Amino acid sequence: MTPPTETRPESAWTAPAPATAEALAAHGLELMRVPSPWETGDADPEAPFDHDRRWADAPAVRRHTAVLQRNFHEVGDPDFALADRFIGVEQGDRRRLSGVYPRQADPARTDPVGTLADFTKRLNMGGGRLLPAWCITEVTVSPTHRRRGILRAMMSESLRRARTAGVPIALLTATEATLYRRFGFGVSTYHRSVWLDATRGLQLRGGRPEGSFRFVEPTASAELIDGLWRRAFEAQAGSVERIRFHAARETDRDPRVDGGRPQGLRAVVSTGPDGVDRGVAVYRVDGSTAELIAEDPVTATVVSLWAADAEAYRALLEFLGNLDLVVRLRLPAVANDRLLEFLVLDESRIYTRGVHHHLWHRILDVAACFEARPYLHEGAVTVTVEDALGHAAGTWEIAASGGVGRVTPAPPEAAELTLDVADLGSVLLGGVKAEMMRAAGILTEHRPGAAADLDTLLRQPRPPYSLTGF
């Protein structure tokens, strides 16, 4: 579908706001852009990645990448070999790098003390509607420079660039959940890490899935896997498009492992009774076959599972759950919707290892976001949105009729509830409930029942779920 807002994300650099520049200058620092090879014309972002390519002619990008790895405590990379593999892969995302440096430093010769990257992907809003989304990642501050406002400077500038570029929503995934609410991000999707006991094979409820399977070699199947990924993505409300790193992983060329060489992953394709490919699972098997006494029983771990429809998912789950010799099936990030409990005959064989927050939404343009999603219900709720950074602040009537949303500015006295922009981001796709926030005392109702009415208006058939993260 055509994006509702015209976006100009590829030329998105703007100089920092004067207040940000001054705050950094007080610490002898400045925010700089670090142009990537795809921006300088030295890399074709559409070309397949090449793990052998070195990037000595992009020294600032190399340093940015290596410092990020250090801040996340990855192993040392003295000759930039790991950094170079990441740089090659990430050109496909059209990443835009920025960093904080000592004032007037040369980024080609000086390590940044803060790193951030942003890029634009699409977010599935439901009903096959796709919205441009500003993805923020690689956020680190050197341990030598904590608590000097570097995170605040980089984050608020990235969001400002997003707004200037006309992108209506920003996304991130977080390793620490306390950091990003202050910048207006709220959790939208959760996922669940599951182990399935496959000791005697896994029986499903419902009839046996029809169709057939075939193995393919992941290193030679990039196009096939990518096509099936796209169909799965377009069917999954709440999902963001995947980054090139995941495409590298599922074709068994993980830049982090063994110099990016293949590790022997398996890939199985499910074909429907009509002869059309409908899903693929990439997985690895490890562990010891002495199942009862082994510390590490034979385990199949799913790297990715892309199913174009529900039948494809069922078929691949049954295939993976019935691999001979395998006693445990690990699904690291399934939807937290309890679908598995309906699929698997004996639900006591499902072990939930954890439920984690996944995609965080930061609404920048209230109307563009709420008008981009589909609606099952009719109605209207007027909300006052508080936004410390200003982007989404105001009072808005969110209305839906005939499946179509309409957002109009409203006078403050019309507000039926007041909430922070982070919480508005959480409820946008219906996965998180305003009623729960009311019960927790983090939003204010001016009309009793307004939070529950907002939930009814925003309900989707299933909770949003992202197939992938970044």
Ligand X SMILES: CC(C)(COP(=O)(O)OP(=O)(O)OC[C@H]1O[C@@H](n2cnc3c(N)ncnc32)[C@H](O)[C@@H]1OP(=O)(O)O)[C@@H](O)C(=O)NCCC(=O)NCCS
Kindly list the residues in this chain that would bind ligand X in the complex (CB under 6 A): 71, 139-141, 146-152, 174-176, 178-179, 182
Strands 96-102 and 114-126: antiparallel
Q: Structure tokens of 439?
A: 């019960």
Q: Are 320 and 196 in contact (CB under 8 A)?
A: no
CB closer to ligand X, 430 vs 469: 469
CB closer to ligand X, 29 vs 366: 29
CB closer to ligand X, 29 vs 457: 29
Which of 339, 16, 50, 13 is CA-nearest to residue 165?
13
- Shortest distance, position 174 Cβ to ligand X, whole Å: 4
CB closer to ligand X, 115 vs 299: 115
- Shortest distance, position 359 Cβ to ligand X, whole Å: 13
Would you mind telling me the total number of residues written for the chain in this entry? 470
Which of 61, 125, 119 is CA-nearest to residue 93?
119
- Shortest distance, position 31 Cβ to ligand X, whole Å: 12
Q: Which residue is nearest to ligand X (CB)?
A: 151
- Shortest distance, position 74 Cβ to ligand X, whole Å: 12
Query: In this structure, what is the dihedral angle of CA atoms 413, 417, 419, 424, given to the nearest 10 degrees?
Result: -110
Which of 413, 409, 420 is CA-nearest to residue 446?
413
Q: Structure tokens of 1?
A: 């579908």
CB closer to ligand X, 181 vs 373: 181
Question: Helix crossing, 18-25 with 150-164: angle to 10°?
Answer: 160
- Shortest distance, position 349 Cβ to ligand X, whole Å: 34
What gap in Å lies between CA 112 and CA 97, rounded to an integer?
11
Q: Count the alpha carbons within 13 Å of 394 in the hemisphere toward its beta carbon.
A: 15
Helix-then-strand count for the chain, H and E? 13, 19
- Shortest distance, position 389 Cβ to ligand X, whole Å: 11
- Shortest distance, position 50 Cβ to ligand X, whole Å: 29
CB closer to ligand X, 152 vs 462: 152
Reported as type and span, the H/E element at residue 283 is strand 277-286
CB closer to ligand X, 148 vs 161: 148
